[in-house]
Amino acid sequence: GQNIDQPTEMTATEGAIVQINCTYQTSGFNGLFWYQQHAGEAPTFLSYNVLDGLEEKGRFSSFLSRSKGYSYLLLKELQMKDSASYLCAALTGGGNKLTFGTGTQLKVEL
Amino acid sequence: GAVVSQHPSRVICKSGTSVKIECRSLDFQATTMFWYRQFPKKSLMLMATSNEGSKATYEQGVEKDKFLINHASLTLSTLTVTSAHPEDSSFYICSASTGGAQETQYFGPGTRLLVL
């Protein structure tokens, strides 16, 4: 089966850096996505990793280690608007099916 | 680019009636669309994968006769919840894939269904 784990909740301070981890055990792995979801809204695409290493995009970076089944999302210079749920999703099954983790609810405080 | 719309955004219906939800890719052609269901404070659960011009592929445990999916064109897919019951109340989200190597899915704004 497919299994994706991430912490349920995290709290961080405005202006700080936070790292959200994700571990996965899947079959037919084709890449790892991170999405941001605000309450009551649809997820928005943040990043995609298919090769090992770090992908940087502005304040957000994402890392992947395929051998360890591990990824993280790094958010720098946190802002209040970054308070949201962050979803880790693996592209699996040899096709284009996304399997989502349960999401990490991030709360940014003053 | 890569905008996906859903209609309606909210719907309330009586138990036993059917509800149709539309998902459109506005600025790209989507060979594949996906339908998800999300319960409060839970992650997205894939219900079915829809390819243009062919029958949808349903995930295990999803009743295909209850959740009818039609992907009539490269920009439109519909989900019809038939004979809705209160337990069908949920947040339904569609996504569309641009295809290609990344297979990035872009999500619609979601439809909140409440069955009374």
pLDDT per position as a tens digit, B49-91: 988 888 899 999 999 999 999 988 889 999 999 999 999 999 9
> Which stretches of chain A sit within 8 Å of chain B by CB?
30-31, 33, 35, 40-45, 48, 50, 87, 91, 96-103, 105
Task: Name residue, tokens 């999300």.
Answer: B38
Query: Average pLDDT of chain A?
Result: 92
Min mean pLDDT across A48-52, A78-82, B50-54 is at: B50-54
Q: DSSP strand E in chain B: where?
A: 4-7, 10-13, 19-25, 32-38, 44-51, 57-58, 67-73, 76-81, 90-97, 105-107, 111-115
User: Per the CB < 8 Å rule, is A98 touching B46?
Assistant: yes
Chain A residue numbers touching B32 (CB-CB < 8 A)? 96
CB–CB contacts below 8 A, A to B: 51
CB A84: neighbour CB atoms within 10 A? Answer: 20
Is the pLDDT confidence value at A105 over 90? Answer: yes
Q: Considering chain A, what percentage of its residues have pLDDT values greater than 70?
A: 97
B28 touches chain A (CB under 8 A): no
Q: How confident is the model at residue B99 (pLDDT cuts 50, 70, 90)?
A: low
CB B6: neighbour CB atoms within 10 A? Answer: 19
Q: How confident is the model at residue A94 (pLDDT cuts 50, 70, 90)?
A: low
Q: Which residues contact A55 (CB under 8 A, 6 or more apart)?
A: A47, A48, A49, A61, A62, A63, A64
Chain A residue numbers touching B44 (CB-CB < 8 A)? 43, 87, 100
Mutate to test the interface with B, among A32, A57, A98, A99 (most CBs of B within 10 A): A98
pLDDT digits (tens, 9 = 90+) for B33-49: 999 999 887 888 999 99
Q: How confident is the model at residue A110 (pLDDT cuts 50, 70, 90)?
A: very high
Overall average pLDDT of the B16-21 stretch = 97
Q: Are B93 and B113 in contact (CB under 8 A)?
A: no
CB B98: neighbour CB atoms within 10 A? Answer: 17
Q: Are B9 and B111 in contact (CB under 8 A)?
A: yes
Q: Which residues contact B71 (CB under 8 A, 6 or more apart)?
A: B33, B50, B51, B52, B53, B54, B56, B77
